[in-house]
Structure 1
Amino acid sequence: MTNYSLRTESDQPTALITGASRGLGAAIARELAPAHRLLLGARTAEALGPILGELPGSAGWPVDLTDYAAVANAVEGIERLDVLVHNAGTADLGTIAESSVAQWRNTLEANLIAVMELTRLLLPALRAANGHVVLINSGAGLRANPGWGAYAASKFGLRAFADALRLEEPALRVTSVHPGRIDTDMQREIVAGEGREYEPREFLTAGTVARAVRNAVETPRDAHPTEIVLRPIAR
């Protein structure tokens, strides 16, 4: 068992970022790296190779977040955690009429249930640090649009989870980040599925959203950044 979290008072705080191998997760890792010891999560160790090479002081944390026995085993060495960033998720889109039980179940599993369970398992470590939980939500967590029903339901649920966690764990800070659509590989896949030409200038950059996450984490302790909403400006 690896102990990720024992540190002296002079050591950097520890941050765990899920979905950190690319896109927004990797951008958040770059923003937090100067001031944090990083645990970078992804499904496989191979996926983490590039970002670990870029941030050599970081440690890989490869685990399938919907394999709850594996997640329980993976958190055993984490005794103290200052920041937990929930970035991993899925976006399986389609109309309600065309959707399936499997699609709804898989979306809710990845975007909500897995987040809940990882947070629950890490509560002792977060409490030990008076930690900060950051949940990467979506504009879809504030308003549903046609074709985004299952995804929006998972993100509305994620917002409710954040609200409940904030009330139940008053020593923790809990921030919901609601960005608009972000220029990532996943976004390219979504736009291709919509049958549209991809225009990066229509979307937020991953770096901009990552900077907002860092700003929330670095907010002085006399304030609690509960919700951050970001929308793209056409460039």
Structure 2
Amino acid sequence: MRTHLITGAGSGIGAAVAERLAARGDQLWLFARNAGRAKELAARFPGARTLVGDLAEPERLSWALSHQELPDRLDSLLHVAGVFELGSVGDLTPKIWNQQLAVNLVAPAELTRLLLPQLRLAQGQVVFVNSGAGLRTSPQWGAYAASKHGLKALADALRGEESDNGVRVTTVYPGRTATPMQRKVHQQEGKEYDPERWMNAESVATTVVTALDLPRDAEITDLSVRPRG
């Protein structure tokens, strides 16, 4: 039985990954922003453990984790949580920039730093669920894409630094996926949302699990997955 810590397990891709891993009997540690959310996750995933910390305040994560029991070892740390706010560079305020950079980039970096001892012990794997916006961007997507481009740089640096410790690092770049976040994206874009046009979250979960299950003699570094059509 392997042990995984997942952010963003409450919905969308994170929930699909958690369900897949729980179904095969792996041990889950689920990261929640507050105690109420942790209780909901524990009820949804019987047998899972929870950790509480606000990814919007990465500077407080060290303090938060120091007051909770942590896993002894981790086979994987899965960064799935993320936030977005569309807007032109001429309109976005520092508050909006900082919110997206904190959750999408600084918090994954800090959470990884805090859990590296457990990952090194297990020769585990860090998986960053990035976005197509981590490879290219469009008007109105500047702040979100900047955070995701930064996440790619974080993953690439971490891979080089931790290779000798046996830690694998994978980035998955999903295209548009039928999730609650995608519904919000369409609202901000002023477009009608049709989930049938986009990938199912379970399809992205399959790519994540494939990377986790790859034999130890190989490593998937970057994997893009797109809706058909």
Q: Output the TM-score relative to the length of structure 2.
A: 0.92
- Report the identity percentage: 47
Aligned residues: 223
Q: Distance in 2 between matches of 1:91 and 1:71?
A: 24
- Report the Cα offset of residue 135 of structure 1: 0.2
Aligned residue type for 1:188 = R
Query: Superposed, which structure 2 residues align to 1:103-122 within 5 Å?
Result: 103-122=96-115
Q: In the aligned structure 2, how far is the partner of 1:114 from the partner of 1:183?
A: 25
1:69 aligns with 2:60: yes
Residues in 2 aligned to 1:71 and 1:29: alpha-carbon distance in whole angstroms: 24
Shift of 1:168: 0.4
- 1:128-177 deviation digits (Å, cap 9, x = unpaired): 00010000100000101111001111101100110000000001100000
Counterpart residue number, 1:160: 153
For 1:128 and 1:201, how far apart are their aligned partners in 2?
A: 42
Are residues 1:14 and 2:3 paired?
Answer: yes
Question: Are residues 1:230 and 2:225 paired?
Answer: yes
In 2, the alpha carbon distance for the partners of 1:232 and 1:54 equals 28
Which stretches of structure 1, 4 residues or more, deviate above 6 A after TM superposition? none
Structure 2: stretches of 5+ with no match in the other structure: none
Question: Partners of 1:120 and 1:232 in 2: how far apart?
Answer: 33
- Amino acid corresponding to residue 199 of structure 2 in structure 1: L
Give how far 1:54 is off.
3.4
Matched, 1:196 2:186: no
2:119 aligned partner, one-letter code: L
**1:21 Cα deviation after fit:** 1.3
Corresponding letter in the other structure for 2:211: A
Cα pair 1:24 1:207 within 8 Å, conserved: yes
CA distance, structure 1, for counterparts of residue 203 and residue 38 of structure 2: 22
C-alpha contact 2:58 2:102 (8 A) present in aligned 1: no
Take 1:191 and 1:206, find their aligned partners in 2: how far apart are those partners? 17
Aligned to 2:201: 206
Separation in 2, partners of 1:133, 1:184: 23
Structure 1, unaligned stretches of length 5 or more? 1-11
Partners of 2:79 and 2:134 in 1: how far apart? 15
Candidates 80, 85, 88, aligned match of 1:92: 85
Do the aligned residues in 2 keep the contact of 1:45 with 1:60 (CA within 8 Å)? no
Give the alignment's Cα RMSD to 1 decimal: 1.5
TM-score by length of 1: 0.90
The change in CA–CA distance for 1:101 and 1:73 in structure 2 (over 3 A counts) is closer
